[in-house]
Amino acid sequence: MSLAWSASQRYGLTPAPGGLALVQDFLNTIGIHDHPDRLASTTLADDWAADAVRTWSAARGVDAHPPSLNDADLSRLRALRGTISKLVAGEPTDGHGTGPVSASFVLSDAGDVRLEPSGSGWRWLASALWGEILLGQHNGTWRRIKQCHNHHCGSTFYDRSKNNSGVWHNVKTCGNAANLRASRARRRERDRAAARAADCELAVPPEQPVSVVEASPDHRRR
């Protein structure tokens, strides 16, 4: 039975592997089309956090409890989402996110060392998110977290293509729609260019015939 990531699932997205799906799901809390922003209110945010932390805990084999969130936490989380979104898009960031957070190193019973989130409220989630990004950057999976190039979508997906060349979260929907818009735009541009060329032809006055008057024979003999 697959793990449910509620924010990503509503966009029909396959989750990223392991705990990195938490980062993907966090970015997909953004509202697209008729789907609300899951960080718009404490009720929506608490519901999302409960699902996400429970699913993340199962993926990581830990027993974590979702933090309680208030309005101030939501403001911080939305800012954090914007920073991570820029990071995914390759855009410049200020390098600070929403402020420093901490994490702990924990030794499991099996002898594995893992990062464990710490703090409360937004800081706990930020600690978990940055920890997963750090691990993803080291194991090479982070570069496969991408945002759909369809600007009407912008959902975050995990690129499973062999050469990491995917740009659409779904080629049949967003890919075909974007290609169709591009094709229509090119056709409109060709039509405008043809109309401008036709206008230029009409603006040039036709050449006026020039009458040639030959001199009379008497005039030529003089």
Q: Which of 81-90, 99-108, 190-199, 205-214 has the highest mean pLDDT?
A: 81-90
Per-state percent for the chain, helix, strand, coil, to nearest 5: 50, 10, 45
Strand, coil or helix: 101: coil
Q: Is residue 143 scored above 60 in pLDDT?
A: yes
Give the pTM. Answer: 0.77
Q: Please tell me the least confidently modeled range out of 38-42, 126-130, 153-157, 185-189.
A: 185-189
Task: Give the whole-angstrom CA distance, residue 203 versus residue 205.
Answer: 6
> How much is the mean pLDDT over the chain?
85
Pairing, β 156-158 against β 113-117: unpaired
Percent of the chain whose pLDDT exceeds 70: 77
Task: Give the separation between CA 206 and CA 208, rounded to whole angstroms.
Answer: 6
Q: Of 100 and 55, which is predicted with more confidence?
A: 55
Q: According to the model, what pLDDT value does residue 214 have?
A: 59
* Amino acid 1: pLDDT: 41
80-87: average pLDDT = 96
